[in-house]
Structure 1
Amino acid sequence: MELNTKNFGIIHYNEEDVIYFEEGIPGFEELHNFLIIGDEEENMPFKWLQSIDNPDIAFVVIDPRVFKPDYTFEIDEELKNFLAVEDVNHLLIFVIVVIPDKIEEMTANLKAPIIINAENNRGVQIILDNDKYLIKHPILEELKNAYSHA
């Protein structure tokens, strides 16, 4: 299949690559079908969550454990059932990154992780009910530290 995107031009993908968000993403509830775009060979932590329903929409995402290894939250039975999770080790966790003009002000939304069941490509964005994580968590210094120790 083929998709003409705003950021990447024409990309090719297979039906099995599509991640389905039954409820959409908060603020974008009408968008249900996405692709994860990233270059594994470049070893870049950032990926794109590209909408198939609206090719002009793509979110920069990152696994928060890249820069915050202690990032954890409870995955309750309701969420496991919603995503049809058989093994929590198959869950992918991402957070949306905002990269402003001043890159040193880059932030990640740790309060609302995106969880994807890699076994069936079902996804959801949840909002954590705690004060442990910020919506605008500065990440540049933590990323620098993570990669200087790698």
Structure 2
Amino acid sequence: MILRTLLAGLAGLCLTTTAAAETAELTVTFKGMTAHQGAILFVLSDSEASYDNKAPPRASGMAPVRGAEASQTLTGLAPGRYAIKAFHDVDGDGKMGTNPFGMPTEPFAFSNDAPAVMGPAPWAAAAFEVKAGRNVHQITID
């Protein structure tokens, strides 16, 4: 009886350890850029608080524009829900250009191609599932 309990416990521990060790890889492809220069700057959020700038993002990155697209692969992610905010830094100054009223002058987009209405697309519209293993997500920037 003790041996059976011990073996069951060890089997459960092995399953838990294997599940915890599973990681995800996410390749994000940005398409639709009309200016074939600069880079796409983006942040990857793993919570609504992070997406709303109330907590640090899970990751950030820069994907150089090549032709009408750019791509970046993020590794070592935990499976779960994520959302991306991105903009095309056409002039290469490292910040989103805005007009005197604060409206963006450089192209931007959100994961799921979620629309922006009087501000960023909401988390619920931009969030997508990342599973263990390889994942691909495409975003159109226009």
TM-score range, shorter chain: under 0.3
Ranked by relative contact order (alpha carbons within 8 Å, sequence separation 6 or more), the top structure is 2
Q: Which of structures 1 and 2 has the bigger CA Rg?
A: 2
Q: Output the TM-score relative to the length of structure 2.
A: 0.27
More strand by share: 2
Q: Output the TM-score relative to the length of structure 1.
A: 0.26
